[in-house]
Amino acid sequence: MSAARTAIVTGGGRGIGAAVARALTARGVSVTVCARTAVQLERVVREGGAVLAVAGDVSREEDVARVVMAHERELGPVDVLVNGAGILARGRVEAISPATFRAVLDVNLVGPFLCARAVIPGMRARRRGRIVNVASISGTLGTPEASAYNASKWGLIGLTKCLAEELRGDGVSCLSVSPGSVDTEMLAQTPFEPLMTAEDVAKVIVFAALDAPDAMTGSNVEVFG
Ligand SMILES: NC(=O)c1ccc[n+]([C@@H]2O[C@H](COP(=O)([O-])OP(=O)(O)OC[C@H]3O[C@@H](n4cnc5c(N)ncnc54)[C@H](OP(=O)(O)O)[C@@H]3O)[C@@H](O)[C@H]2O)c1
């Protein structure tokens, strides 16, 4: 979305989200970072990667409302939402608990739904907005011991395409970016070697957020490394 003034980046405390916050800030966007660990968010702000830190859990509707309200109060209307918050749980289907499976879906899929739901009315009213969902190449693949994660990312790509169709004609667009193996704390929990940095992926997410034409709405941009 060209000339975006403000953005909320969930998962902005470390890894890909923090790199996106820094890259958006470098493009002149006023960024709010959100995650559960306040001390990590505050470090991103202290180092100039964002202007506002609001701790919250994207799977909790009341936290999402609080983040959006704080952003609007301090920085104004939300032009861009980057849904970067995510968790991983590994284990074979019969070994992971139903509670763990649900927790992954809650953060990786319900979280982006709740965040999108909170910003869409304002974006629609202003006929101005862009939502970028950080999915994964796992959102088009099957991987052993990653059923909850992969299912959440398949769902997130589906949510992206549904949002694009629902918002078509309203001046609001929605894309997903699907990275492969990125050097972050999350990847360190897997057997996979890093093939790119968070900064590499942030460049693509910033393209999706600021530069990609509205005609790309609904697209899933893959970044393999
Ligand atoms: N690393 C990869 O290879 C890779 C590949 C493809 C896609 N991705 C996706 O990229 C995104 C970022 O991952 P990453 O690799 O940067 O992982 P990371 O270093 O573990 O960072 C994840 C971020 O999400 C936040 N988060 C987790 N649960 C949250 C919740 N319930 N509410 C709010 N924030 C929450 C974390 O902070 P708190 O724990 O403090 O809440 C952290 O800031 C994720 O969606 C991930 O699935 C990563």
Q: What is the mean pLDDT of the chain?
A: 98
Based on the structure, what is the number of domains in the chain? 1
pLDDT per residue over 75-113, tens digit each?
999 999 999 999 999 999 999 999 999 999 999 999 999
CA 208 to chain centre: 12
Q: How far is the CA of 125 from the centre of ligand 1 (A)?
A: 30
In a domain, 194, yes or no: yes
In a domain, 113, yes or no: yes
Q: How far is the CA of 149 from the centre of ligand 1 (A)?
A: 12
pLDDT per residue over 107-144, tens digit each?
999 999 999 999 999 999 999 999 999 999 999 999 99
Tell me, what's the pLDDT at 1? 75
Which of 221, 131, 217, 152 minimizes the C-alpha distance to 180?
221
> Rounded to an integer, what distance in angstroms lies between the CA atom of residue 129 and that of residue 119?
9
CB 63 less than 6 A from any atom of ligand 1: no
Q: Which residue has the tokens 């969930």?
A: 10
> Rounded to an integer, what distance in angstroms lies between the CA atom of residue 50 and that of residue 33?
7
Tell me, what's the pLDDT at 202? 98
Name the residue with the closest Cα to ligand 1, atom 44: 86
- Read off the pLDDT of each residue in 48-58 and give the average, rounded to a whole number: 98
Residue 2 has pLDDT above 80, yes or no: no
Name the residue with the closest Cα to ligand 1, atom 36: 11
In a domain, 56, yes or no: yes
In a domain, 222, yes or no: no
Residue 151 has pLDDT above 90, yes or no: yes
